[in-house]
Amino acid sequence: MTPSDDARVTLLLSLADDELILGHRHSEWTGWAPHIEEDLAFSSIAQDEMAHARLLYNLVGPILGRDEDSLAFGRQPEEYLNALLCERPNLDWGYSIARQYLYDTADAVRLEALTSSTWKELADLVEVLRLEETYHLDHARVWFQRLAEGPVTGRQRLADGLSTGIGEAVAIFEPLPEEEALVSDGLLPRQNEDLLADWLGAVGEELERVSLDFVLERHRSVGEMVPTGSGEVEEVGQAFNVPGLVKRDGRWTHEGGFAGAGGRRGRHSPDFQALWEEMTGLFRAHPGARW
Amino acid sequence: MTYQDRSSEFKARIDAGEKIEAADWMPDEYRLAALKFIEMHANSEVMGALPEGTWIPRAPSLKRKLSLTAKVQDEVGHGQILYRVAEDLGKSREQMFDDLVNGRTKFHNVFHYPAETWGDVAYIGWLIDGAALVNQKALLDASYMPYVRAMRRICPEESLHLRHGEELVLELVSGTPAQRELFQDAVNRWWQPTMHFFGPPSKKKDMLIHWGIKTRTNESLRQEFFSTYVPKLWDLGISVPDPALAWNDGKGEWDWSEPDWDEFWKVVGGNGPMTQIRLAQRKTVWDTHAWVREAFAGIPEAA
Amino acid sequence: MPVWDVFGKRTPGDEFVLVGGIKAPDTEMALVLARETHFRHKEGVAYGVRRRGEEELHVGSYDPDLIGGVTDRSYRRQEAYAGVGGKLKRVARQMAEQGLRIDRPRPPQHRSQA
């Protein structure tokens, strides 16, 4: 069966919206990051994500007869298909860095698969995007190492951030609407379930190497993150098993449900409304204006 | 050779146009004057990131979302360059940042004001950057070479920002009536802070001019700003809220109304509309991220 | 926290020249940070960092093409704004035609009508 235009659009918008919304969040650190050279690095990563969104919108735009700004700023909240992970506020640096690590490692798995997409323009574009993503991965890994292997407060902040983000990071791989058709036609060369398995296996190993794999065993919901000053992880009742994450034969895998799913169907968290109003307000206040 | 003799010889070298490097002997007055000036410049860049930074999440097109992020990123970058120069004059960046967020050091008046609308973003991008560029080009002749090298990097980036700001202005001015009004309104609110930006009438003995760190007076820089930007504003049909502002052929310079200098001193003294809010925000982020500095240093930070 | 001197080569045939400095806790972080601090506008094809007080230059491993980005960066390059001066003239002309030009005393070199 051939995927409908709708399915192609869903695939592209889920990619583009992830990049736009997360790029938007990353860009909020510009001028505020806790180390001035890091401010510059993180801002470049933010710009990359937004630029990638722009390229993806321009790929899907002709199908919909809409331009890049109309897509980025002119849709209703339920029409955005980003993962919930991307729309959460920046909280503190520990969460933001953990999120960058979780997202970019996941994105790398997804993009690698898409280089074999039968949609040639998408495959070609993805090859280019991956070149820029290498820096994001280097950046994430350098921070991951330094915090995981550094003083206990930094390690704790990283662990807290990972705990807070891991459930929704898994949902990056929430199956898309019409995914079967997309896969059988090769637009999406591999099922999200397979991509998730690869990503989780790799992340599980990295976390085990630095003894942070406990974050896969329990997570907090975003609103309840409690910064700890001690070296202990607080068991205060709001921590619970990450839905669907289990260890089988020594490897972390996902089975069953997703926490924080719904993004691919336009169902967002309460955080999205405020983001959307801020991001689209000026555009919508002056319809048709040029800036 | 006495300290006085060495100092006099040093001053003679500067007056002869010689340049000073970081490793050269320098009198304490020179080192401290240069440090204070460069530190304030660095502070201004990082505080300058804030008014425009608030519009990154609200930018009305992808192109502008990107270009504004890049512009604010460059301002942070300028801060990085300048703090590095200042650090080599003997004060740590951590100490400079701590002093800034705790209100012990100063930054330019214009960054104590809010950016209320996209009209403000355009104004800041063209005219505040324009004013800054007038100042910064003059600093290319400063006596302290590390600062000159920093300015050689900063000035081309500022020129780019200026063109970007100009483009934002032109879109507003040639856009809808509502867009034109956004810009005119911004001009009306930002003109006095811009006049303040060049500083009060220069003191008779300006230490910064004495040591060759500043090479031009506040008045001459302000006049250059008028000549560069006012005719363009008038060509665009945008008025300036100073009824006295006009070229005086007889004097060969612009007539203009002195702004309220009390307001200037109040603002740079820490009582601008956004001063305390912005410093408090910066201080909160600085304090709550001590753990990052600790992770970088590998040792626990003192409370 | 150590200061690192940062070196860059503008073209492949150049020697490494000092372009500035950064602060970073270790070599890996220094290499990651130096790239966007000093080369995000494509100021070089290769770069390296050297910790103050040490001899070794650690060279960044990125291909020249990657430094400063691969996708369209025109929104932050001079070339993209080359037409702005011309645009100002055009808009000024429109304003004059609409009678909006403000006719107050201005310096001699700015007196010509758009």
Q: Which two tokens stand for residue A198?
A: 């690869």
If pLDDT is split at 50, 70 and 90, which confidence band does C110 have?
Answer: low
- Cβ proximity of C82 and B160 under 8 Å: no
- Is residue A277 scored above 50 in pLDDT? yes
The chain A residue lying nearest C4, using CA atoms, is: A37
- Cβ proximity of B238 and B257 under 8 Å: no
Is C28 touching A (CB cutoff 8 A)? yes
Structural domains of chain A, with CATH: 5-285 (1.20.1260.10)
**Chains in contact with B, where contact requires at least 3 CB pairs less than 8 Å apart:** A, C
* Mean pLDDT of all residues in A234-244: 56
> Looking at the partner chain, which of A40, A52, A129 has a beta carbon nearest the beta carbon of C37?
A40
Task: Provide, as residue numbers in chain C, all residues whose Cβ is less than 8 Å from the Cβ of A101.
Answer: none
**Touching C: B residues 210-239, CB under 8 Å:** 227, 230-239
Is C114 touching B (CB cutoff 8 A)? yes
CB pairs under 8 A between B and C: 98
Are B75 and A289 in contact (CB < 8 Å)?
Answer: no
- Cβ proximity of A202 and A115 under 8 Å: no
Q: Which residue did the predictor score with more confidence, A186 or B300?
A: A186
* Mean pLDDT of all residues in B196-225: 88
**For position A219, what pLDDT does the model report?**
54
Cα separation of A161 and A94, whole Å?
Answer: 5
Q: Which residue did the predictor score with more confidence, A237 or A178?
A: A178
Are A40 and C29 in contact (CB < 8 Å)?
Answer: no
- Is residue B302 scored above 50 in pLDDT? no
Three-state secondary structure call for residue A19: helix
The chain A residue lying nearest B58, using CA atoms, is: A279
Is A279 touching B (CB cutoff 8 A)? yes
Specify the pTM.
0.94
Rounded to the nearest 5 percent, the helix, strand and coil shares of chain C are 30, 20, 50
What are B167-182's pLDDT values in tens digits?
Answer: 999 999 999 999 999 9
Q: In the block, which residue shows the tokens 């010509």?
A: C112
Q: Which two tokens stand for residue A238?
A: 């709001």
Q: What is the dotted CATH code of the domain comprising B3-274?
A: 1.20.1260.10
Alpha helices (H) along chain A: 5-27, 36-64, 68-73, 84-87, 93-114, 120-148, 152-170, 179-184, 192-209, 270-285
The chain C residue lying nearest A146, using CA atoms, is: C29
* Mean pLDDT of all residues in B39-55: 97
Burial annotation A97-111 (CB, 10 A radius, 16+ → b, else e): bbbbbbbbbbbbbbb
Cα separation of B142 and B215, whole Å?
Answer: 6
* Mean pLDDT of all residues in A157-184: 95
- Cβ proximity of B108 and B44 under 8 Å: yes
Q: A100, A75, A76: which is closest to A86 by C-alpha?
A: A100
Q: Are strands C3-9 and C17-23 parallel, antiparallel or unpaired?
A: antiparallel
Is C52 touching B (CB cutoff 8 A)? no
What are B52-81's pLDDT values in tens digits?
Answer: 999 999 999 999 999 999 999 999 999 999
Cα separation of A22 and A45, whole Å?
Answer: 10
Cα-based torsion angle of the residue sequence C39, A32, B268, B218 in order, rounded to the nearest 10 degrees? 10
Task: Provide, as residue numbers in chain A, all residues whose Cβ is less than 8 Å from the Cβ of C65.
Answer: 131
CA C57 to chain CA mean position, Å = 24
Task: Provide, as residue numbers in chain B, all residues whose Cβ is less than 8 Å from the Cβ of A26.
Answer: none
Cα separation of B212 and A247, whole Å?
Answer: 68
* Mean pLDDT of all residues in A183-209: 96
Residue B284 buriedness (CB in 10 A; 0-12 / 13-18 / 19+): exposed
Cα separation of A105 and A288, whole Å?
Answer: 38
What are A22-68's pLDDT values in tens digits?
Answer: 999 999 999 999 999 999 999 999 999 999 999 999 999 999 999 99
For residue B287, the distance in angstroms to the closest alpha carbon of chain C comes to 18
Average pLDDT value over all residues in chain A: 91
CA C20 to chain CA mean position, Å = 14
Average pLDDT value over all residues in chain C: 92
Are A41 and C29 in contact (CB < 8 Å)?
Answer: no
**For position A233, what pLDDT does the model report?**
45
Are A48 and C71 in contact (CB < 8 Å)?
Answer: yes
Cα separation of A128 and A42, whole Å?
Answer: 20
- Is residue A4 scored above 90 in pLDDT? no
What are B125-164's pLDDT values in tens digits?
Answer: 999 999 999 999 999 999 999 999 999 999 999 999 999 9
Burial annotation B63-87 (CB, 10 A radius, 16+ → b, else e): bbbbbbbbbbbbbbbbbbbbbbbbb
Backbone angles phi, psi at A158, to 5 degrees: -65, -45
- Percent of chain B whose predicted confidence (pLDDT) is above 90: 90
Cα separation of A243 and A216, whole Å?
Answer: 10
- Is residue A223 scored above 80 in pLDDT? no
Q: Where are the domains of chain C?
A: 1-69+77-101
Backbone angles phi, psi at C65, to 5 degrees: -65, -30
Amino acid letter for position B126: W
What are B212-236's pLDDT values in tens digits?
Answer: 888 888 899 999 999 999 999 999 9
Are A142 and C22 in contact (CB < 8 Å)?
Answer: no
Alpha helices (H) along chain C: 27-38, 84-97
Q: Is A186 left (phi over 0), alpha (psi -120 to 50) or beta?
A: left
For residue A89, the distance in angstroms to the closest alpha carbon of chain C comes to 24
